[in-house]
A = this chain, B = another copy of it.
Amino acid sequence: MTSTDAGAARTARPTRQRRAVAECLRRFDDFRSAQEIHDLLRQGGDNVGLSTVYRTLQAMADADEVDVLRAEDGEARYRRCSDTHHHHLVCRGCGHTVEVEGPAVERWATKVAEEHGFAEVSHTLEIFGHCPDCA
C-alpha cells in the first residue's frame, strides 16, 4: 500500500486564513462568537470569509484545540484552551474566564453515572458569576 492512507497527516493545510483565526483566538482569554472573530479579523485587515471562520472553528473544536460554549440564546462561542481536561469560571459581565480543575468532581460524575449503569460517560460543567471587576 502507498503511504497515503497511513493515517498520519489527516489533511489540514496551514493556510493564511487558518493561521489568522488561530492567531485571533490566541489574543483573547474569553469566549467569542464566530461572527465576532470574523469582525475582528476584518478590522485587523485579515479578510477571511465567514464560512471559512465557521469551518475553521469547527475543525479546531473537533481537534480539541478550542472550547465551545453555548450562550443562553444558543449561539456558539469559542475560546483557546489548554490540552488537559478542565472547566470554566465565566464572568457574566465582562466574559473574563478562568480555567478550573476539580478531581473530586470528576470522580463524582463518574461514580454517579456508574451507579446508574451508564457507560461512555462525559460531562459538561461551567460556573458563572460576576468577577471582582464587575461586582
Contacts and interface: CB of A to CB of B under 8 A. Distances in A.
A81 interface: no
Q: How large is the interface on A (under 10, 10 to 19, 20 to 34, 35 or more residues)?
A: 20 to 34
A117 interface: yes
Nearest to A114: B129
A9 interface: no
Contacts of A91: 118
- Count of identical protomers in the assembly: 2
A126 B109 CA distance: 9
Interface stretch (A24-32, A43-51, A69-77): A69-77
A132 interface: yes
Contact of A119 (B74, B98, B135): B135
Nearest to A73: B74
Interface string A31-62: 00000000000000000000000000000000
Contacts of A105: 105, 108
Nearest to A133: B117
Nearest to A129: B118
Interface of A: 70, 74-76, 89, 91-92, 98, 100, 102, 104-105, 108-109, 112-113, 116-132, 135
